[in-house]
Amino acid sequence: MRIDSRKNDALRPVKFTRNYIMHPQGAVLVEMGNTKVICTATVEEKVPHFLKGSEQGWVTAEYSMIPGSTGSRKSRNTKGIDGRSQEIQRLIGRSLRSIVDLKALGERTIWIDCDVIQADGGTRTASITGAYVALHDAVQLLLDHSVLEVNPIKTSVAAVSVGIYESEVILDLCYEEDSKAHVDMNLVMTGEGELIEIQGTGEEKPFTKAQMFELLELGEKGIKTLTALQAQALAAE
């Protein structure tokens, strides 16, 4: 049994709270175990300069961890964004753009903001999974108000971590597992099971192709469950 008594192929408890704050067009609190992230989607009726006149929209993301989200205080980004946060927000942006028809979105930008209020591993994967729900709500609002005639979202997207911890292949690592895993991998996939991104590292020693395929299979199983939970949350009134 694992640290929190889960089976190796089990996700942590997952919860989506939609309309978590009032101002953004989409706002979701996603909880995966003890990791909690506020994901918002805000529509801006303009695009970056490189897209002006292109009749194409843009989806971009920002990511941060608030000072009280970790055991020791996390400093605010008053001196500029750190490398880790920059890498994660680019991942979130890529993941969401891959499922959006930017032409159908028109010349507008959807800003995705992911703010970690409590971190216990898997903050980037929770951010992507929650951000999709926020994006869906924001786009639905545009459709409801006839700002958009066609839904630009082509499919869903979710993400999960997998790893090898004490020689066991496990799903959805908490912080203690992640910090000691000798292989750490993050998977981003569509609702149809297509891969968007694979981030995998042998932290202490190399891993085999057979282990990689085992990790991919386990991650796909977890993402299928997350996809179903996203759909369930979006179907609720």
Q: Give the residue numbers of the binding site for phosphate.
A: 84, 122-124
The CA distances from residue 89 to 60, 63, 176, in Å, are 8, 5, 23
Of 142, 143, 136, 154, whose CA–CA distance to 233 is shortest?
Answer: 136
The CA distances from residue 66 to 21, 26, 63, 200, in Å, are 17, 20, 10, 26
Helix, strand and coil percent figures for the chain, each rounded to 5: 35, 30, 35
Query: Reduced to 3 states, what is the DSSP secondary structure of residue 40?
Result: strand
What single letter denotes the amino acid at residue 3?
Answer: I
d(CA 215, CA 23): 39
Tokens of 233: 């949350």
Known binding site: residues?
A: 84, 122-124
The CA distances from residue 57 to 22, 63, 97, 152, 173, in Å, are 24, 20, 10, 10, 35
